[in-house]
Amino acid sequence: MSESIGNTGTGMKLHTKILLALVVGATAGIAANLTLGGDDGRVEWVNTYLAGPVGQVFLRLLFMIVMPLVFSSIALGVAGLGDLKKVGKVGGKAISYFFVTTAFAATFGLVMVNIIKPGESIPEEVRTELMATYAEDAAGKIEAQQTGGFGINTFVNIVTRNPVKSAADGDMLGIIFFGLMFGAALTQLKPEVAKPMLDVLQAINDVVIVIVGMAMKLAPYGVAGLIFGVTSRFGFALLKPLAGYVTVVMAALLLHMFVNLSLILKFVIGINPITYFSRIKGALVTAFSTSSSSATLPAALRASQENLGVPPKIAGFVLPLGSTMCMNGTSIFEGITVIFLCQVFGVDLSIGGMAIVMIMSVITAIGAAGVPGGSIPLLVGILAMMGVPGEGIAIVLGVDRILDMTRTVVNVSSDISASVFVAKSEGLWDESMVPPAGQTAA
């Protein structure tokens, strides 16, 4: 799955433009705050008639495509499994491994961000003013979360009464459930009956992907406008936590890969972690440079089959599935990002709210479109569910590139481990089948 912001085709890469826009917008905003003050009439004019509208157009484009993107990608993903009855033991084991490890990764990220709390390094009065400035419409959502609690009704309400109303109300869980059911139902139809609807879903998905591309071309201007708006009002207060956020995400990704995954490799799969990582380093380098699990698939297949000795019939089934479903790194990133921005904007989440963030991080990581910027609309959708204003995404979007590259490495290392796990569980592999170092592919 692509997690890259991507390129514009020629000239400067889009992710570079976004980073530049973040720097320019933040510098201009801080300069305006220090020299004129956040409540100066000229600063307010720029925010009202220039920076604000540009940023809002970018945000609205993202919100506009959240629901069709969620529905089409989830339904196509489930339908792509084929007849669920025929997926069999191998598919069941692979999918279980994907979900368990991705859920564990998301939970691990949430624990880290709640312990370190990088978003709480800004003064309380700044958080209060942030919510007053940007989150007038979020108050109802926060109140609903606090009064509704987390219990059996939370799960009952996931089953939407009306998917059209859920889409209109921004109920992502309802749309996700409907997408899951829709895709599962398609697998039960005869191929010739299901094909027209699959073609429609694929067309919707393709159209949405094009719109994502259009929205991301506006990202540099939108980010500059949004970040100018917040820094001109609050100065350095919002930039200080950013280094802590990057550190927490990177630490969580690396710890999950080299500690959590190593424990799984050693005690569940039965392979020395040092041997494992040394055999797949070529695929990890490809993942880091491309920021795409899909683009890394050929290298992952080669590493799994030639360097680890996994039978081709297992690797050939598990890895293509894993490149879109086994998203350990992405779930860590999404969970930490949501909680970080909740901390920045002073949104207190209950244990139930944390559970919803974990569930959404897993599902949206699996369902995000494999295109440049494909996870950004879904991330904005989760923020809206939690009562965080969409403007918050501008704070983290500019530093996404290095996090993108690293989380793709974690995704790919988890993908390959899934192929080894399934082969081991089927009695088709053990560590003795790993070729000696000198006999492995480069």
Does residue 306 belong to any structural domain of this protein? yes
Q: What is the pLDDT of residue 373?
A: 53
DSSP codes joined into one string, 376-430: HHHHHHHHHHTT--GGGHHHHHTTHHHHHHHHHHHHHHHHHHHHHHHHHHTTS--
Range of the domain at 350: 14-436
Written as six digits, the tokens of 373 are: 């910027």
What separation in angstroms does the CA of 275 have from each of 211, 270, 297, 439? 43, 11, 20, 13
Mean pLDDT within 267-291? 91
If 0-12 CB within 10 Å is exposed, 13-18 middle and 19+ buried, where does residue 122 land? buried
Does residue 253 belong to any structural domain of this protein? yes
pLDDT digits (tens, 9 = 90+) for 153-196: 666 777 889 999 988 887 777 888 898 899 889 988 998 999 99
Does residue 442 belong to any structural domain of this protein? no
Reported confidence tier of residue 91, pLDDT bands at 50, 70, 90: confident
The one-letter amino acid at 288: F
How many alpha carbons fall within 13 Å on the CB side of residue 378?
35
Q: What is the pLDDT of residue 98?
A: 93
Written as six digits, the tokens of 385 are: 């569910």
Q: What is the DSSP letter of 370?
A: S
What's the farthest any 2 CA atoms get from each other in the chain? Answer: 73
Q: Is the pLDDT of residue 402 over 90?
A: no
Written as six digits, the tokens of 40 are: 């100066």
Per the CB < 8 A criterion, the answer to whether 21 and 27 are in contact is no
Q: What is the pLDDT of residue 254?
A: 96
Does residue 421 belong to any structural domain of this protein? yes
Does residue 3 belong to any structural domain of this protein? no
Written as six digits, the tokens of 430 are: 């053990």
Does residue 7 belong to any structural domain of this protein? no
Nearest to 364 by CA among 323, 327, 400, 412: 327
Q: What is the pLDDT of residue 251?
A: 96
Which range is most confident: 39-48, 87-96, 98-107, 352-361? 98-107
Reported confidence tier of residue 16, pLDDT bands at 50, 70, 90: confident
Q: How many domains does the chain have?
A: 1
Q: What is the pLDDT of residue 256?
A: 97
Q: Is the pLDDT of residue 125 over 50?
A: yes
Instruction: Quote the Cα angle for 211-298-14, to 5°.
Output: 35
Q: Is the pLDDT of residue 344 over 80?
A: yes
What separation in angstroms does the CA of 53 have from each of 46, 58, 194, 346, 413? 10, 9, 43, 24, 42
Written as six digits, the tokens of 327 are: 């998203």
Reported confidence tier of residue 141, pLDDT bands at 50, 70, 90: very low
pTM of the model: 0.76
Does residue 251 belong to any structural domain of this protein? yes
Does residue 18 belong to any structural domain of this protein? yes
The CATH number of residue 385's host domain is 1.10.3860
Q: Is the pLDDT of residue 136 over 60?
A: no
Reported confidence tier of residue 143, pLDDT bands at 50, 70, 90: very low
CA distance linking residue 122 with residue 126, whole number of Å: 7
Per the CB < 8 A criterion, the answer to whether 314 and 422 are in contact is yes
Reported confidence tier of residue 438, pLDDT bands at 50, 70, 90: low
Bridge partners (DSSP) listed for residue 292 = 2
Bridge partners (DSSP) listed for residue 2 = 292
Nearest to 378 by CA among 71, 25, 37, 23: 71
